[in-house]
Amino acid sequence: MGPDKNELLIVPNSEITLEVTNPETLERSIEAIHVPLSNLLKSANLPTEDILMPVQERKKVLMNLSSVLEHLPIAQRINAKYVSKFTLSVVIGLFDGALTYLWDETIVALRKLVSDYDIEYFFLIATDMASRYKGLKTYEDLAAISDYDLLQICSRMGLISTVNCRRLENVNYMRNHASSAHPSDEEISGMEMVTMLETCLKHAITAIPDQPAQNIKLLLRNIRTNIIPEEDYECIGKALGQHTQERLDDLIKAVFGLFISDKSDVTLVKNILGIAPYLWNLVTDDVRKYIGMKFGYFRVNGFVREKELTQSFLNKVDGNSYKDEDSLAAEIIDHLGNLISAHNSFNNFYNENEYAYRVYRILEKNKIPDSVRKYLVKVVSICHIGNGLGYREGVDERADRYYVSIIDRFTDNEIVEFINLFEDSDFTRDFHLKKPDERIRALCENLKTKTKNRNIVNMLEFLKSFPPMKMDKASTDYRYKDFKKYL
């Protein structure tokens, strides 16, 4: 009787006869696919067992491959070498290698999406996110943007949706924690591989920006190149009202960045001043404070031209009430942006210390500015709690001393912001892991000692007593919502 037509055959070297005593063990062994290679590894005292994924898991991927590839047009498949490498790695049983090939192609696709859209706009948002990206301009410079930040910026621009960004974040998480990109003992199932392949193909490799994002692309191109008639400003302002709040907040920051750029010309300046009042009325107070803080930042650091342009911008939008003459807030925001970017990037345990120290030095002799409180509490708390990886506490232990010192300065205002973070999925992302779970509980206990507010203490007690590795669900509990009413 011949083999079942649906069976995946992993054929050993034809010259070697294998006695299969434990198929479940054998199919995960190098020996199952190539005995001479197994002998070579053994002679070098290298492991050969539990290297490959079971045949049954490989079959799950291969049986679903054709339907998933329907997301990839035939014209693109011809040169899709990454899919061939992905498939070959799956057949062999090296899922971690397959995921690496898939993710590398996903990043290439997202970079091309950015380049085809508006690379200058991308870098303006990137610089706002982390000032260490300042000065990047070209397609080649995109390689300096971390994968996580690339996803966030693409989402903020509308190149991928918020939901799809989350899906791709999960693939990135698995790539970092369960692929051949980093040492790991984690395993990926066949259905997980199928889902990640579909996610990357559908939501990144073949992604198309939504229509509002296309409209912003046209607007940015036109304000750079065309003299827009004054009677059109109001019409443009009404159209801007159709965009999401996050996109509008990013847009005004980018437009302001273009306005103070040393490349700005008369046409660009005129057009921006024309649409700025309408855009200003649509953005949040936090963003208005951000632009107002820039005046103080430029002033204390001697950027005369940028300071004067910021003043003219604020005059035009009637925003002088948001101006801060000597604010340190903009500088703190810059360092926090770099810190969270380093935290979410490769080698975070080696790169956080520098930026943590800069934040600490500013706050050592200054109180926490109101305008940065929410952002500071989020970034410092995330970095102090850690991602659960590494050999010790899952944090940058050099930087953690600065996080502890900053947290020691928390008052009721900061603790309330900390409690609000449990509704933020960025904050709770790693709470299903043991080390972050332990550290968040210890932080709740620590914060209890910094307040005499009984309502805050009750909330922290509730959080600390939540079931192990389940604190990411705390904000959905009715008790959390009841306690928040009294904060």
At 85-126, the pLDDT tens digits run 999 999 888 898 999 999 999 999 999 999 999 999 999 999
pLDDT of residue 13: 38
Q: Across the chain, what does the average pLDDT equal?
A: 87
If asked whether residues 447 and 339 sit together in one domain, one would say: yes
If asked whether residues 167 and 102 sit together in one domain, one would say: yes
Question: What is the tally of structural domains in the chain?
Answer: 4
Last residue of a domain, one of 170, 189, 205: 205
If asked whether residues 70 and 151 sit together in one domain, one would say: yes
If asked whether residues 223 and 269 sit together in one domain, one would say: yes
Phi (first) and psi of residue 262, to 5 degrees: -70, -5
Among the residue ranges 256-260, 348-352, 465-469, the one predicted with the least confidence is 348-352
Q: Look up residue 204 and give its DSSP letter.
A: I
pLDDT of residue 22: 45
pLDDT of residue 25: 45
- Is the pLDDT confidence value at 48 over 90? no
If asked whether residues 239 and 307 sit together in one domain, one would say: yes
pLDDT of residue 3: 45
If asked whether residues 244 and 264 sit together in one domain, one would say: yes
If asked whether residues 37 and 64 sit together in one domain, one would say: no
Q: Whole-angstrom Cα distance, residue 390 to residue 434?
A: 12
pLDDT of residue 224: 93
If asked whether residues 279 and 296 sit together in one domain, one would say: yes
Last residue of a domain, one of 144, 177, 205: 205
What is the residue range of 401's domain? 329-484
Q: Whole-angstrom Cα distance, residue 399 to residue 349?
A: 8
pLDDT of residue 335: 93
- Is the pLDDT confidence value at 481 over 50? yes
- Is the pLDDT confidence value at 8 over 70? no
Ordered DSSP codes for 286-347: HHHHHHHHHHHHHHHTT-HHHHHHHHHHHHHTT-GGG--TT-SHHHHHHHHHHHHHHHTSTT
pLDDT of residue 329: 85
If asked whether residues 199 and 343 sit together in one domain, one would say: no
Q: Whole-angstrom Cα distance, residue 143 to residue 107?
A: 9
Last residue of a domain, one of 52, 69, 84: 52
- Is the pLDDT confidence value at 417 over 70? yes
Q: Look up residue 366 and give its DSSP letter.
A: S
If asked whether residues 196 and 217 sit together in one domain, one would say: no
At 270-324, the pLDDT tens digits run 999 999 999 999 999 989 998 998 998 898 889 999 999 999 999 999 999 988 8
If asked whether residues 382 and 418 sit together in one domain, one would say: yes
Q: At 127, is the pLDDT very low, low, confident or very high (cuts 50, 70, 90)?
A: very high
Q: What is the mean pLDDT of residues 439-447?
A: 96
Q: What is the mean pLDDT of residues 407-423?
A: 96
If asked whether residues 179 and 274 sit together in one domain, one would say: no
Q: What is the mean pLDDT of residues 329-350?
A: 86
Instruction: Identify whether the C-beta of residue 423 lies closer than 8 Å to the C-beta of residue 455.
Output: no
Among the residue ranges 59-68, 113-122, 319-328, 417-426, the one predicted with the least confidence is 319-328
**Torsion angle, CA of 259/262/265/269, rounded to 10 degrees?**
10
- Is the pLDDT confidence value at 6 over 60? no
Top-confidence residue, 2 or 118? 118
Q: Pull the structure tokens for residue 267.
A: 């046409």
Q: Whole-angstrom Cα distance, residue 233 to residue 223?
A: 11
Among the residue ranges 63-72, 250-259, 383-392, the one predicted with the least confidence is 383-392
